[in-house]
Amino acid sequence: MQQLSGQDAMFLHAELDGLPQHIGGVSIYDQSTAPGGTVRFKQILAMLEDRVHLSPIFRRKLEFVPYNLGRPYWVEDPDFDMEYHVRHIALPKPGDWRQLCILAARLHSQPLRRDKPLWELYVIEGLNNVEGYPPGCFALLLKVHHCAMDGATGTQFMNIVHDLTPETREFDESPPWIVERPSRARMLGRAYVDAWRKPGQVFEMLREAVPAVQRIRAGRREATIRDLDEKQKTRFQGRISRHRVVEARKFDFEEVRAIKNTVPGTTINDAMLTIVAGGLRRYLDAKGELPDGTLVSGCPIDVRSPEERMAGGNMVGFMNVALRTEIDDPLRRLEAVHEEALSAKAYAEALGPRFAVDLADVMPGNVLSLAIRTASATGLAESSVMFNTVVTNVPGPPMQLYMCGAALVDAISLGPLLPNVGLFHIVYSAVQNKKGTINLSFTACRDMLPDPAFYADCLQESFEELRAAALAPKKKKRPRRAKQRA
């Protein structure tokens, strides 16, 4: 039995009607590498049953405190049924990329049941007409509620169901499964004790806030921290519908690295933010909606200490980075985004990287839930702009992976939408098909972005434009010849 952290519970309270707060992804496999050249659905079920004890996410569900007086608990589900969580479906013919994206968007838009362990896995067959994939590929679509894990812990979860060779690992017999459910009296007693601790936690947080404010003021005086301009409102700000779209583009890791190396000090993340900025600029300009000022991206950051790397749940900070979409030249935009990222990191360090985690721990869950729902009902959430989109970086495995012998050849990520933010990008770097790649995928509200293929083309063109500008051969200046005397 484990109680959710404040930040874990925050993702439960942020879940509104039409705004499910789960994350996930679509992994694509070449089953020709598996023994016999085929992977059966029963093999996948048997593999998961063999490894179910390796992650608590599989079998635990939520137990709510009476009257919502405290954060919920994780408890083992005595009625856990693997076949409920793992489903088997197929794409209709011809089974192309667009059909896969449409199916992924529809499955991802459906909320998870809260009386069950908060995950689902779909085995999708019929990928027979996808360019660049071997024939006979299949996909796995995973959905896990954000209260159970973030991107960092999601990578650990995916490592459990994969192997480093086509040979499937065998594990020792799982330890005894102990089902423990907390009593109502115990949960209410814990909530009572936590309520008495809140004032001290708030006082401690306020005491730490004083030097944080001083550090931020010093950073502004020294010009290491710059205030963002007034936030621009775009088509991605407003009420989110129930419907989603999904798309992605893949880039060569070495090409992105070569781009970032052309500007000293820049990172892979700076280059990817610049690509997103160029894609947004092209898309909004085509609609006649490009603002004069810069758009802003919210960027989650992992704030785990080395000792907390194996901890589950969420430990996420946040920073806002100006995308400098008002700059037309892609190379100058990369330089500007790098400077904005440095400023955002300096602000986050001055504030304290764990500020968001600590704030969620001291804020009562029922108050947070009421505030979110009130803001949504009154339209207050749609009137204020914190940022225009989200871009998060999720590092994938640096080696080739296999699942039941099938080689992982591609993967795209699925993110949750937030109130007033209808576009979510995920940068996923990994080794796929023995080659370093970076997948830039996005999830969006269908009403706000009805043409996902066009926006994906805008991202592709932004990458190509930045690559051409960064890697173009530099012209050498010829030395002037001295004039000959007559």
- What are residue 212's phi and psi, to 5 degrees? -65, -45
Specify the pLDDT at position 245: 97
Least confident of 61-70, 263-272, 477-486: 477-486
Least confident of 212-221, 263-272, 325-334: 212-221
Q: In residues, how long is the chain?
A: 486
Give 31's pLDDT tier (boundaries 50, 70, 90).
Answer: very high
Q: CA 341, CA 140: separation in Å to the nearest integer?
A: 34
Query: Got the DSSP string for 318-372?
Result: EEEEE--TT--SHHHHHHHHHHHHHHHHHHHHHH-TTHHHHHHHHS-HHHHHHHH
**In this model, does residue 483 exceed pLDDT 50?**
no
**In this model, does residue 477 exceed pLDDT 60?**
no
**In this model, does residue 17 exceed pLDDT 90?**
no
Specify the pLDDT at position 269: 95
The alpha carbon dihedral of 380, 385, 391, 394 has a sign of negative
Higher-pLDDT residue of 348 and 245 is 245
Whether the link from the prior residue into 94 is cis, omega within 30° of 0, is: yes
Structure tokens at 317: 């900070």
Strand partners, 88: 123
Determine the average pLDDT of the residues in 418-442. Answer: 89
**In this model, does residue 407 exceed pLDDT 90?**
yes
Specify the pLDDT at position 484: 45
267 phi-psi bin (left φ>0, alpha ψ -120 to 50, beta other): beta
CA angle 74, 79, 80 (to 5 degrees): 70
Specify the pLDDT at position 192: 80
Cα→Cα distances 11→23, 146, 217, 373, Å? 11, 6, 31, 13
Specify the pLDDT at position 312: 62
CA angle 42, 48, 54 (to 5 degrees): 165
**In this model, does residue 474 exceed pLDDT 50?**
yes
Least confident of 135-144, 172-181, 340-349, 390-399: 172-181
Specify the pLDDT at position 382: 64
Specify the pLDDT at position 172: 73
Q: Which among 2-6, 79-83, 303-307 has the top mean pLDDT?
A: 79-83
- The string of pLDDT tens digits covering residues 62-91 is 999 888 888 899 999 999 999 999 999 999
Q: CA 163, CA 135: separation in Å to the nearest integer?
A: 22
Least confident of 58-67, 375-384, 450-459: 375-384
**CB-based contacts of 320, cutoff 8 Å, min separation 6:** 228, 296, 297, 298, 299, 344, 386, 387
Q: CA 268, CA 376: separation in Å to the nearest integer?
A: 36
**In this model, does residue 358 exceed pLDDT 80?**
no
**CB-based contacts of 343, cutoff 8 Å, min separation 6:** 224, 225, 226
**In this model, does residue 393 exceed pLDDT 80?**
yes
Determine the average pLDDT of the residues in 225-233. Answer: 82
* Strand duo 423-432 + 435-445: pairing: antiparallel
Q: CA 17, CA 372: separation in Å to the nearest integer?
A: 12
Least confident of 96-100, 127-131, 387-391, 451-455: 127-131
**In this model, does residue 378 exceed pLDDT 90?**
no
Domains parsed from the chain with CATH numbers: 2-172 (3.30.559.10), 189-397+416-471 (3.30.559)
- The string of pLDDT tens digits covering residues 99-121 is 999 999 999 999 999 999 999 99
**In this model, does residue 379 exceed pLDDT 60?**
no
Structure tokens at 81: 């049924």
**In this model, does residue 353 exceed pLDDT 80?**
no
Percent of the chain with pLDDT over 90: 55
Give 203's pLDDT tier (boundaries 50, 70, 90).
Answer: confident
Specify the pLDDT at position 193: 84
**How many angstroms separate the first and last alpha carbons of the chain?**
97
Specify the pLDDT at position 482: 47
State the chain's mean pLDDT as an integer.
87
Q: Which among 43-52, 145-154, 293-302, 442-451 has the top mean pLDDT?
A: 442-451
Cα→Cα distances 473→278, 461, 467, 468, 469, Å? 22, 20, 11, 9, 9
477 phi-psi bin (left φ>0, alpha ψ -120 to 50, beta other): beta
Report whether 425 contacts 391 (CB < 8 A). yes
Of 30, 22, 45, the C-alpha closest to 107 is 22
Specify the pLDDT at position 466: 97
Least confident of 91-95, 201-205, 233-237, 378-382: 378-382
Q: What pTM did the predictor assign? A: 0.90
Determine the average pLDDT of the residues in 471-476. Answer: 70
**In this model, does residue 380 exceed pLDDT 80?**
no
Give 370's pLDDT tier (boundaries 50, 70, 90).
Answer: low
